[in-house]
Amino acid sequence: MAPGLRLSRPVYLQMVGHCYDALPDEGCGLLGGDARTASASVCYPTDNLAHSARIYTVDPRAYLAADRDAEARGLAILGVFHSHTHTDAYPSPTDVAQAPDPDWHYVLVSLRDIAPVVRSYRILDGKIREEPVVLDSQ
Amino acid sequence: MAVEVRLPNILRPHAGGQATVSTVGSTIGEVLKALVAEYPGMAGQLVTETGEMHKFVNVYVNDDDVRYLDKLDTKVTDGDTVSILPAVAGGGF
């Protein structure tokens, strides 16, 4: 397992931009890429069906479309991102309880401060482990 | 009816690592039942003890989410693709 998550620059910008666009609600989406190297090269912004500043639900139809697109590109869905509009970039008890896949990377984008804060976690059996996020130059 | 079922990563270990399996059934309920019969490790992850579709999974027939069709009674026909994906949700509080 690669130590950490790599984000291409376009993925980073699209992800953070989508989270700002979603305000005042939480923004969410999926990350596609190479699971072996944990490199995210495609961002799939999705609607937050919960339309809430406190919780998010990834649109299931958008998830299906993203899954198919990633497969067609020879990629996989690596994980999910969502924003915390007024709290730290750290998984909430709700996030941990509903984390569906221990192989996924759970990316949090905190918009609490002036600058966005992006952090990534693995969640296994309810245990949270932060991992490095590497931002590629391209 | 013979249908292809696409499994999410989380369920693949229960099916010997396969991403796609073939099974039979004329409704989604029958397809899920047949899946559990063949791969008992999936028991409790697709359908609840009370017979409802588990809230942590989304099931699709081709492009359609069965929650917006007839749920477990949604009909499938030969050649349909059934996709199962985890429901992805959470929140800041």
Determine how β-strand A105-110 pairs with β-strand A76-84.
Answer: parallel
- Asked if residue A42 lies in contact with residue A15, where contact means CB atoms within 8 angstroms, the answer is no
What pLDDT band is residue A3 in, cutting at 50, 70 and 90?
Answer: confident
Give the pLDDT mean for A40-66. Answer: 96
* Cα A107 from chain centre: 4
Residues of A in contact with B85 (CB under 8 A): 60, 63-64, 67
What pLDDT band is residue A99 in, cutting at 50, 70 and 90?
Answer: confident
Give the pLDDT mean for B1-12. Answer: 92
| Cα–Cα distance, B26 to A37 (Å, whole number) | 41
Whole-number pLDDT of residue A1: 47
* Domain boundaries defined on chain B: 2-86
Determine how β-strand B20-24 pairs with β-strand B57-61.
Answer: unpaired
Pick among A54, A98, A105, A106 to test the B interface (most B CBs inside 10 A): A98
Q: How many CB pairs under 8 A join A and B?
A: 85
Amino acid at B6: R
Residues of A in contact with B63 (CB under 8 A): 61, 64
* Domain boundaries defined on chain A: 5-135
Determine how β-strand B81-86 pairs with β-strand B89-91.
Answer: unpaired
| Cα–Cα distance, A57 to A100 (Å, whole number) | 12
pLDDT tens for B35-69 read 999 999 998 889 888 888 888 899 999 989 999 99
Whole-number pLDDT of residue B56: 87
pLDDT tens for B9-43 read 889 999 999 999 999 999 999 999 999 999 999 98
Return the CATH superfamily for domain A5-135: Cytidine Deaminase, domain 2 (3.40.140.10)
Tokens, residue B88: 């992805």
Give the pLDDT mean for B1-13. Answer: 92
Percent of chain A with pLDDT over 90: 88
On whether any CB of chain A is under 8 Å from the CB of B10, the answer is: yes
Whole-number pLDDT of residue B44: 86
Whole-number pLDDT of residue B93: 60
Which member of B60, B67, B92 has the closest CB to residue A92?
A: B92
- B2-86: CATH, from 2.40.50.100, 3.10.20.30, 3.40.50.300, 3.40.50.1950: 3.10.20.30
- ∠ CA A82-A86-A92, rounded to 5°: 55
